[in-house]
């Protein structure tokens, strides 16, 4: 009986925190918003990607770049109706008939255009519905490649990754931290894999956020804390933001991966839909 009462108490505590996190319009508030001021944002209100804010992450609009099990091309990032769509689609003759058949998607970053040390960073988005692929909102800096046993000179901070579609439970995401480069010295921790109970993340918008300061990292979904960590020591250098969609595999050939079964040629195309990206600094 005590276990039942404990469960009920915990359930109502979550419900109360959810209600308290909502703004008068029903959208989640920025956690501890009194501490922050908005300093950078992209609301995607134009009719094309704003290249004063974003550039290709390891890709361009001039040519396709191999990225895991797909090609990356910045033309796969389209802005329309106030939203960014990072498309994932199969081109049997290659994109624009370039002779490179396969799956195409992309990543975009603020590297060289906007970087920030500490604050709160948030995306509002709908995840791409497909096995064998995952969307992500993450942060990075060149110092992450320094192999020195810690992350104070830079870390890869995965605010969320979404490799669970088609598996049970599929309505969850993964938040992770990586330090010391991408070779044998790489060290990683999985901070949390929270379930998204209310809005279906593949059909409805949710917000995914990170509060980062010298004490560590705290992750949020819809304004509610999902996990925290100071793994490696918190990064103490400016980092840039990345939005991306990955296809599991290698050499532009899809294969089974942590995102499940390989993406098949006949799979339906899918979009990673982003309403906004915002960065806040401490007042």
What is the average per-residue pLDDT within 217-230?
A: 98
Whether the pLDDT of residue 20 is over 50: the answer is no
Q: What strand order describes the sheet that includes 187-192?
A: 55-56, 107-109, 240-247, 133-140, 156-161, 174-179, 187-192
Closest to 121 measured CA to CA, from 24, 209, 45, 198: 209
pLDDT at 27: 53
Alpha-carbon gap, residue 187 to 262, rounded angstroms:
26
Do 121 and 242 form a contact (C-beta atoms < 8 A)? no
pLDDT at 25: 39
151-192 tens-digit pLDDT: 999 999 999 999 999 999 999 999 999 999 999 999 999 999
Alpha-carbon gap, residue 86 to 22, rounded angstroms:
28
Whether the pLDDT of residue 194 is over 70: the answer is yes
Exposed, middle or buried by CB within 10 Å (0-12, 13-18, 19+), for 5? exposed
Q: In this predicted model, which residue has the larger pLDDT, 111 or 266?
A: 111
44-66 tens-digit pLDDT: 999 999 999 999 999 999 999 99
Alpha-carbon gap, residue 154 to 188, rounded angstroms:
13
Write the CB contacts of 20 (distance below 8 Å, at least 6 apart in sequence): none
Residue 199 CA to its chain's centroid (Å): 17
Whether the pLDDT of residue 94 is over 50: the answer is yes
Q: Helix/strand/coil (H, E, C) string of 115-136? A: CECCEEEEEEEECCCCCCEEEE
pLDDT at 28: 62
Whether the pLDDT of residue 26 is over 90: the answer is no
Q: Cα torsion for 163, 165, 167, 173, to the nearest 10°? A: 50
- pTM recorded for the entire structure: 0.91
Whether the pLDDT of residue 119 is over 80: the answer is yes
For the chain, what's the residue count? 283
Whether the pLDDT of residue 18 is over 50: the answer is no
What is the average per-residue pLDDT within 122-142?
A: 98
What is the average per-residue pLDDT within 70-77?
A: 98
Element containing residue 12 per DSSP (H, E): helix 2-20
Looking at the chain, the whole-number percentage of residues with pLDDT higher than 70 is 90
pLDDT at 17: 40
């Amino acid at each position: 009986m005590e276990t039942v009462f404990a469960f009920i108490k915990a359930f109502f505590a979550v419900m109360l925190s959810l209600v308290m996190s909502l703004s008068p319009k029903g959208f989640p508030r920025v956690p501890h918003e009194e501490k922050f001021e908005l300093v950078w944002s992209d609301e995607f209100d134009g009719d094309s990607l704003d290249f004063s804010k974003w550039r290709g992450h390891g890709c361009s609009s001039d040519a396709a770049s191999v990225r895991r099990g797909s090609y990356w091309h910045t033309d796969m990032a389209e802005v329309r109706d106030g939203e960014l769509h990072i498309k994932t689609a199969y081109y049997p003759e290659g994109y624009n008939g370039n002779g490179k058949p396969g799956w195409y998607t992309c990543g975009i970053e603020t590297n060289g255009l906007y970087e920030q040390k500490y604050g709160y960073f948030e995306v509002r988005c709908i995840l791409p519905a497909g096995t064998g692929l995952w969307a992500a909102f993450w942060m990075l800096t060149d110092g992450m490649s320094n192999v020195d046993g810690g992350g104070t000179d830079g870390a890869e901070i995965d605010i969320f990754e979404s490799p669970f579609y088609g598996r049970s439970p599929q309505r969850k995401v993964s938040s992770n931290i990586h330090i010391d480069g991408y070779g044998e010295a790489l060290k990683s921790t999985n901070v949390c894999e929270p379930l998204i109970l209310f809005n279906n993340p593949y059909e409805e918008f949710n917000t995914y956020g990170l509060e980062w300061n010298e004490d560590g990292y705290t992750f949020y979904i819809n304004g509610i804390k999902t996990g925290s960590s100071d793994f490696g020591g918190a990064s103490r250098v400016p980092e840039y933001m990345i939005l991306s969609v990955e296809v599991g595999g290698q050499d532009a050939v899809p294969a089974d991966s942590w995102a499940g079964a390989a993406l098949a040629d006949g799979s339906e195309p899918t979009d990673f839909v982003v309403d906004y990206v915002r960065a806040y600094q401490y007042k």
